Structure 1
Amino acid sequence: MEPATAVGAVAETDFSLFALFWQADIVVKAVMLGLLAASVWCWAIIFDKSFLFGRARREMNRFEKVFWSGQSLEDLYQKLSERPTAGMGSVFVAAMKEWKRSHEQGASSYIGLQQRLDKVLDVTISRESEKLERRLGFLATVGTSAPFIGLFGTVWGIMNSFQSIAQSSSTNLSVVAPGIAEALFATALGLLAAIPAVIAYNKLSGDSNKLIGRLEGFADEFSAILTRQLESRGKN
């Protein structure tokens, strides 16, 4: 085939994204579909976590404003215990519940009550942290593995190109170009899934750590408040 004819054949080949997908080998198609599905799920997680963290920050701000306003802890507990709570509200309710239960049972050991409060606070923070960090691991997995999965599709597509060359005994662009284009498309999809996943994971992981740090800080402050009340009651 003359060079001009080869160029004309390549020009006539459809290199649109849909055409590259439909013309691809079944293995390359599976890789592309898997990467597209992973990308869609990553974006769903990103939007979900962004809204969740924004709502969590607003709830923490509102709770801290009410908590430090001087309102009675008993009144605040009665108000919050009547509805589902999250974040600092859950930490507060869990600690107050253990506090009230211990006093109702006439607990006399200061050290034992303090240990139970610390345990309750740790468990509650762990539960809230799990809610915040849930599904972030998927972003990390996609961010690290998607480029290699795309590379696998690339290698497979190039192998098919070499097989086409061997079968046709020709190295014209019309023989090689479609397979290479499909292979590079798989690489592009791998990067399309990986890059947002890595960026989002780093951002959301940092936001999650900040929220968890606020929970731990509040737990320490609230534990100190209850400890002072224990000490004052012991002296009385």
Structure 2
Amino acid sequence: MTVLTLALLLQDATPDQLGPPPVAAHSGAIAEMLHNSGPTALTVLGILLLASIFSWAIMLSKWRSFGAANKQNRRFVRAFRKSGRLSEIAAVADQFRPSPLVTVFHEIHDEYQRQSGGRGTPPNPQAMERAAQTASSEAVTIMERRMTWLATIAQSATFVGLFGTVMGIVDAFHGLGTAGAATLRAVAPGISEALITTAAGLVVAIPALVGYNQLTARLREFAARCDDFGRELLNAIENAALLPPPAPPVQEEPRRRTL
């Protein structure tokens, strides 16, 4: 209702009441809005600027780290499937970090070593499965760091901009009461604050929301790959334990010389 009332007042105003057009409007509307903004609007814009820089820093760092982890995942899986012994993979697994599959492998391999010394069938396969689930959860949790900040910025930036909008409308009506007439000069500072803070809130919130949704989808993919690799590793341990041990080489007896 307040915005509608303000619009009706401006519509009823005569051209003489509106006053001459601002000269600085030709040089840039945004610069004129910033010039007319009060301390409250400038504070809101400063907060939104810091939030935007922080959100973009999180998104860029996550995209870079997720890309490196995905690349190392593929390399580690190829090396794991080509190798025939877990000890060989354990010796070179750290070379494939920051792959989350390395964390899953180390956790399962350590549990296997504790149970059977790395040989034979593990006496407690349920503990191996729990170790795989725990390792997968820990790996994804590490990758989720600072994602809550991105979600917070995406949800709160619009409300911060709305606060600036409300304060701009308040300033506009205060200007109307002070001037005593519905002139553009009286309401221009408040209207500019309302418009620029609303736009700034959307500019900050929309990229943060899109980035959060995309990164969350990537995290779900990493979680599924960790679970699949854990099951594959458990199957490999079980199949290797069922194979019979290799027979020792037969040594030929030396031939006796005949006279």
Q: One fold, TM greater than 0.5?
A: yes
Residues 42-191 of structure 1 aligned to structure 2 (within 5 Å): 42-80=55-93, 86-104=99-117, 110=123, 112=124, 114-191=125-202
RMSD after superposition: 2.8
Please report how far the alpha carbon of residue 5 of structure 1 lies from its aligned counterpart in structure 2 after TM superposition: 7.5
Whole-Å separation in 2 of the counterparts to 1:3 and 1:115? 83
Conserved 8 A contact 1:150-1:187: yes
Please report how far the alpha carbon of residue 27 of structure 1 lies from its aligned counterpart in structure 2 after TM superposition: 2.4
Farther off after superposition, 182-191 or 130-139: 130-139
If each structure's helix is expressed as a fraction of its own residues, which one has the higher value? Answer: 1
Whole-Å separation in 1 of the counterparts to 2:199 and 2:48? 10
Whole-Å separation in 1 of the counterparts to 2:121 and 2:86? 22
Letter paired with 1:99: Y
Q: Does 1:3 pair with 2:20?
A: no
**For residue 212 of structure 2, what is the aligned residue in structure 1?**
201
Q: Which structure is higher in RCO with an 8 Å CA cutoff and minimum separation 6?
A: 1
Deviations 1:13-50, CA, capped at 9 Å, x for gaps: 78654553454233222221111111111111110111
- Structure 1 stretches lacking a partner, 5+ long: none
**For residue 192 of structure 1, what is the aligned residue in structure 2?**
203
TM-score (norm. length: structure 1): 0.86
Please report how far the alpha carbon of residue 173 of structure 1 lies from its aligned counterpart in structure 2 after TM superposition: 0.9
- Structure 2 stretches lacking a partner, 5+ long: 1-12, 245-259
Please say which structure displays the higher CA radius of gyration: 2
Conserved 8 A contact 1:10-1:177: no
Conserved 8 A contact 1:9-1:174: no
Please report how far the alpha carbon of residue 107 of structure 1 lies from its aligned counterpart in structure 2 after TM superposition: 10
Deviations 1:166-206, CA, capped at 9 Å, x for gaps: 01112111111221011110000100011101111111111
Q: Does 1:37 pair with 2:50?
A: yes
Whole-Å separation in 2 of the counterparts to 1:128 and 1:228? 26
Aligned-residue sequence identity (percent) comes to 28
Change over 3 Å in CA distance of 1:71–1:21 after alignment to 2: farther
Determine which of 200, 216, 222 is the counterpart of 2:227: 216
